[in-house]
Structure 1
C-alpha cells in the first residue's frame, strides 16, 4: 500500500507560470473484471527473459496460452497524485487528468530538470488549467499488488475512472473543488487506458489527448525484445528493491563517488589504459550504472516484488523512447535513474482494449514522428493507406466531434524529454481551447 496521505503546498517556478501544487493520496474502490492467468516463474532475470521470449514468439499468443479464466478483482486501494493550479488563480471548472506510460511515474508530466523547462504541467497551468497527475494503479507510490493477476490494464482503467468520478463530484477533500469538465491526457500506456476509459465510460470524459499512441499494436513485440527486461528489484536494487537491500548500500557506497578515477587507477595498476569517455559509457549507459551509481541511495525504496519488470539500461531506453541528437543526454540519464517498471499482467492485457469507443467529444492524438512502440520508428510509413499511422485510429472514434492526428517532428516516443517538448505542449493547449475545452 502507498504511504499515508500527506498534503503539503509548494510554490514552483517554471518557464511559463508559477503554480501551486500539492501531493496527495486518493483512496479508490474498484471492481475489475479481468484475466486469471496460470502461475509462471518470476524469480530472476532469466525468468524475465523467458517471459519476453514467450511473449514475443512469432505466431504465438502468450496471453491466450496462460489464460485460465476470468475473475472480478475488488478492493480498496490508494492512488498517489500531484494536483496543481495557477498560483494566485482559480481552480476553475476544467481539469486535465494526466496518466503516464510504462517506464515513468507522475513526474513525467512535471519534470524538474533544467528549472522545469520540460514541464507539461507548467504549459497547462499557464493556459489556466488545473492538473492532476497520477501514479497509475500498481506503479510508483500508488498501491502495488500481485504483478500477474492484480495489476492488469482493466484494473488500472477502473482506478482511473474512480478518480475521474471523484473529481466531478468534488470528493477529493484536499482539492475541495468539483470539476464540470475532465480532460484525459495520457502518454503511451496511459493513453491506452484513457482511450479504454472512453470506450467503457464515454460520459465520464469530456476530451481526450492521447500522446505517444496509435491504434496499432504490431510493434509491441519489438519493444519488449528491445527492452531486454530484468526484474526491477534486481536492476536497481536499492531504489526499486526491498529495504532489506541495505547491505548493498554499504557495498556500493564506496564506489559511487569518483568512480571514473577509481576504475582508471585499478586499470593503471595492471598496465591498462582506458579513456574517461569509455568508462563513462560503461557506467552511464549500461547496467553497471544501475548497480553502483549514487542515484539509488537518495530515495525511498519502492519494494517492487518479482514480476515487476524493467528495461535493462539507457541503451534500451534510447531505442524505445529517445531520438539521438534530439534530447539532452543528461535528461536521458535522469529518465534512467527515475524509471519505473511494467508488470507481467500489464503486458498480457495491454492489447485487450475495445476496438471502438462511442465517445462523442474531441480527440487529439499527438505522437512523435519517430515513435517506436506505435509506429516502428516512422509514423509516416503507412504504405499510402493513411496520412500517418495514428491517423488510422480515427475509425476507433466513429462518433467523435473532432479527430486529429498530429505528428510532432524529430521526436521519438518519450515526447516530454525531447528538445521540442514545450512547442508540443503549447499546441495541445491551443487545440483544446479551439475545441470547446478552454480553461
Structure 2
C-alpha cells in the first residue's frame, strides 16, 4: 500500500512557515520506450549522443526507438511539505523541477531565501506546498538512465505523489484542500501538462514555467549544456549511476538558464554547485507527452523568460518561425488547450530559462500568484 513512511526532518523556515522533509514510497508502472542506445560512458560517447539528438531534419529519438516495454518497480520519492505556521493552507501547490535542478529550485536559500517561490507562496499567500526530487534525481530513487528513467515513468511518479498528498498521507491527516495546483518548470512543465491531460480530475489549475510548444530550439539546449559523464563531474561523481550526464561548467549553466544582465554572479556559481544531472532518456522522451491536444478544462498559465534558450531560441517575441502573427511563442500553446477555462501567457522581461534564479524572479512569482488569485 502506498503510504507516507518517513519523516526525515522538521524545521521552521523563515518566520511564517513550517516544513518537513519526507520520503514517499511509491509503486509505479509505465510504458517506456525501448531505444537501441547504450548508456554513454565516455566523454566522446556523451558528445556523440547529443550531437545526434541535436541534428536538424531528423527525429533521432524516433529513429532509435525499437518498441515499448512496461516498466514496474518500487521507488522512493524525496519531498518537502510546507505550510503556514497556523496550519495547512486551503490550497496545495505541487511543484516539479526541470533538468539540471532538484526540489531546491523552488525554495532556494541564497540571500535569506530571496529567490524562494515557496516562501512567497506560503508566508505571504497562505498556500501549502509540496516540492519533490523527480524520480531518478536528487535524493529520490535512481534508475537506469536509458531503459528506466523516462518521462512517462516520472509522470506516473507525479501521479502517485499527488494521490498521497490529497489523501492525507503526506500532510498528516489533512485532506480538505479547496484546490490542488500543479506547477512545473521546463521538463517539469512537460510532466505537469501530461498529468493534467491524462488525469484531469487530479488538478484544479496548472502553471507551466520555462515552457512553450516550440521544440525546435531544444537542440541549442542539448549542445549548450556541454554534457559530460556524471562520473567526470567534480561535484556529482559517485552520486549517480554510470550513464547519467551533467553540465560541464558554470558556462554551460549561463548559456542554458540565465540571461545577460538578469542575474547575480553568485547565483550562477550556486546553480552549478547545487545542480543535478540528467538521464539521457529523459531528453529522448521529453517531447512525447505534449504533442497532442489536451482535454484539460481548468485554468492554464504559461510563463517563460523573454530570453529563454530551449523554448524560445532566446527571443520569445520572434514568432516568424510560426506564422508571425502570434504575440509570442508562448501563445503557440493555446491551441493545445482548446477546452481550458482560462488560458494566460506571461513573458518575463529580460529573463532566461531558469526563471527562479534571475533578478526578474519577483516578476515571475507575482505573475504566478496573481494568476492563481483571479
TM-score normalised by the chain length of structure 1: 0.81
Check the 8 A contact 2:82/2:128 in 1, yes or no.
Answer: yes
Alignment pair present for 1:70 and 2:68: yes
Residue by residue over 1:68-111, the C-alpha shift from the partner in whole angstroms, topping out at 9 and shown as x without a partner, is 21111111111100111112x22033100010010000000001
**Residue 13 of structure 2 aligns with which residue?**
12
- Structure 1 residue 46, shift from structure 2 partner: 1.2
Match of 1:240 in 2: 236
What secondary structure, in the 3-state scheme, does the structure 1 residue paired with 2:130 have? strand
Alpha-carbon deviation of 1:6?
Answer: 3.5
Distance 1:50 1:5 in 2: 41
- How many residue pairs get aligned? The number is 364
User: Which residues of 2 match residues 146-295 of structure 1 at below 5 A?
Assistant: 146-172=144-170, 175-178=172-175, 179-236=177-234, 239-242=235-238
Tell me the residue number matched to 2:331: 391
Q: Separation in 1 of the partners of 2:50 and 2:9?
A: 41
Which residue in 2 is equivalent to 1:330?
A: 266
Distance in 2 between residues matched to 1:43 and 1:308, nearest whole Å: 8
- d(CA) in 2 for partners of 1:225, 1:170: 43
Q: Which of the residues 317, 335, 341 maps onto 1:401?
A: 341
Match of 1:309 in 2: 245
Please give the alpha-carbon distance, in whole angstroms, between the structure 1 residues aligned to 2:56 and 2:117. 38
* 2:218 and 2:310 in contact (8 A); partners too: yes
Q: What per-residue deviation string (whole Å, max 9, x for no partner) do you get for residues 261-316 of structure 1? A: xxxxxxxxxxxxxxxxxxxxxxxxxxxxxxxxxxxxxxxxxx21222111211111
* SS of residue paired to 2:312: coil
Checking the alignment, whether the CA contact within 8 Å between 2:39 and 2:145 is kept in structure 1 is: no
Give the SS at the match of 2:7. coil
SS state of the match for residue 67, structure 2? strand
Distance 1:312 1:240 in 2: 11
Structure 1 equivalent of residue 105 of structure 2 = 108
Structure 1 residue 164: deviation in Å? 0.9
Asked if structure 2 preserves the Cα contact closer than 8 Å seen for 1:210 and 1:366, the reply is yes
Shift of 1:113: 0.2
**Structure 1 residue 232 displacement after superposition:** 1.6
Equivalent position to 2:49, from 43, 48, 51? 51
Query: Map of 1:420-435 to 2, 5 A cutoff?
Result: 420-434=360-374
| Structure 2 unmatched runs, 5+ | none
2-structure distance, mates of 1:8, 1:56: 42
Q: Tell me which residue corresponds to 1:367.
A: 304
Q: Note the residue ranges of structure 1 that are not aligned, 5 or more in a row.
A: 243-302, 435-439
Contact residue 168 and residue 180 of structure 1 kept, 8 A: no
| 1:180 CA displacement | 4.2
Structure label with greater radius of gyration: 1
How far apart, in 1, do the equivalents of 2:155 and 2:39 lie?
27
In the other structure, the counterpart of 1:262 is none
**Is residue 78–residue 132 contact of structure 2 (8 Å, CA) maintained in 1?**
yes
Give, in whole Å, the separation in 2 of the partners of 1:406 and 1:100. 19
On the 8 A contact 1:358/1:398 being kept in 2, the answer is yes
Q: Of the candidates 92, 97, 100, which is equivalent to residue 94 of structure 2? A: 97
3-state SS, counterpart of residue 114 of structure 1: helix
TM-score, structure 2 as length reference: 0.94
Q: Whole-Å Cα distance in 2 between the matches of residues 182 and 86 of structure 1?
A: 16
Matched position secondary structure for 1:166: helix
